[in-house]
């Protein structure tokens, strides 16, 4: 372990890759959806929307960097590690630089949070602080959440459900039943992205002593659970329409169904981590499309 790193290869492109920009849709989608839900009540405040979006992205990037740092410190990453992590061992980033950047981004997010609180409610300061602390504890601290069976639950709640609620609350000062109900499938799908990542890394994580949910379930059952999460999300939207909670415009989310089928099929066909990268990508794309289409459905329902 230690602080020894390989020859530095930390150009601008490597910095950009380390920030994992392609994952930031997981922040954009809940903020956009929470804001779209505001339309029947009032015209959304663009300044608050932008501030919430930037703060959420900064916290997500910081969480990724904490994960990068602590995985390195625990000796979990090596030059052959599969996935978007491992920048320290592959590219020679100094571990302390990664950690300082993560804390800096959290600090900037807190400053943006002051603006949000000043224009909405100071209760948001508590909610934001809990989100930042959870981002740190996900991979840091003596008992990292990422090493337990609760990673999917925590990521779904804090990166899905709670971001939608906060995005809605800062605009309206309240929460509605519609907001709560629509946030559920997004939270489930964010948790699904986490599960897909853990299925891909199952063999390596098991060797390193992790106890993620896919390790406890086993690969076949974990894939079945992931497919069930996809199915539940679509059925939930149909239920909201049948019960009159939302309109038929919500059915536009079914345009994302091919990605759900693709992800499930790829996970069933392959077992090696490197072979499962396309399945991971399809899972993330499905969540992004589902959330964007759901937001679009809300906008179309309002204007049509």
CATH topology classification for 12-297: Farnesyl Diphosphate Synthase (1.10.600)
Encode 101-131 in three state secondary structure: HHHHHHHHHHHHHHHHHHCCCCHHHHHHHHH
Residue in the structure block whose two tokens are 């000043």? 118
What mean pLDDT is reported for the chain?
89
Task: Average the pLDDT over 271-276 and give the result.
Answer: 82
pLDDT digits (tens, 9 = 90+) for 163-215: 999 999 999 999 999 999 999 999 999 999 999 989 998 888 888 888 999 99
- Average the pLDDT over each of 25-34, 56-65, 117-126, 270-279 and give the range with the smallest value: 270-279
Given a cut of 60, whether residue 242 has pLDDT beyond it is yes
Ranges of each domain in the chain? 12-297
Rounded average pLDDT over 233-245 = 94
pLDDT of residue 9: 56
């Amino acid at each position: 372990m230690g602080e020894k790193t390989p020859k530095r290869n930390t150009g601008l492109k490597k910095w950009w890759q380390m920030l994992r920009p392609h994952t930031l849709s997981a922040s954009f989608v809940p903020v956009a959806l929470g804001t779209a839900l505001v339309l029947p009540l009032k015209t959304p405040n663009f300044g608050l929307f932008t501030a919430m979006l930037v703060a959420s992205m900064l916290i997500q990037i910081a969480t990724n960097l904490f994960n990068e740092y602590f995985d390195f410190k625990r000796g979990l990453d090596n030059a052959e590690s599969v996935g978007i992590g491992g920048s320290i061992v592959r590219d020679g980033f100094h571990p302390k630089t990664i950690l300082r950047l993560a804390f800096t981004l959290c600090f900037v997010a807190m400053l943006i949070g002051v603006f949000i609180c000043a224009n909405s409610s100071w209760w948001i300061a508590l909610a934001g602080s809990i989100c930042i602390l959870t981002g740190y504890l996900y991979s840091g601290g003596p008992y990292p959440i990422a090493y337990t069976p609760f990673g999917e639950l925590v990521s779904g709640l804090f990166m899905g459900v709670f971001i939608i609620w906060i995005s809605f609350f800062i605009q309206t000062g309240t929460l509605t039943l519609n907001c709560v109900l629509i946030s559920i499938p997004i939270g489930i799908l964010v948790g699904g992205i986490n599960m897909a990542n853990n299925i891909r890394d199952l063999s390596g994580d098991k060797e390193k002593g992790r106890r993620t949910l896919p390790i406890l379930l086993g690969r076949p059952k974990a894939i079945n659970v992931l497919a069930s999460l996809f199915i539940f999300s679509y059925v939930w939207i149909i239920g909201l329409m049948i019960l009159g909670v939302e309109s038929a415009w919500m059915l536009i989310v079914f345009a994302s169904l091919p990605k759900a089928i693709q992800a499930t099929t790829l996970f069933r066909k392959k077992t090696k981590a490197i072979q499962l990268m396309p399945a991971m990508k399809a899972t993330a794309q499905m969540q992004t499309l589902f959330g964007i289409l759901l937001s679009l459905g809300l906008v179309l329902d309002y204007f049509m």
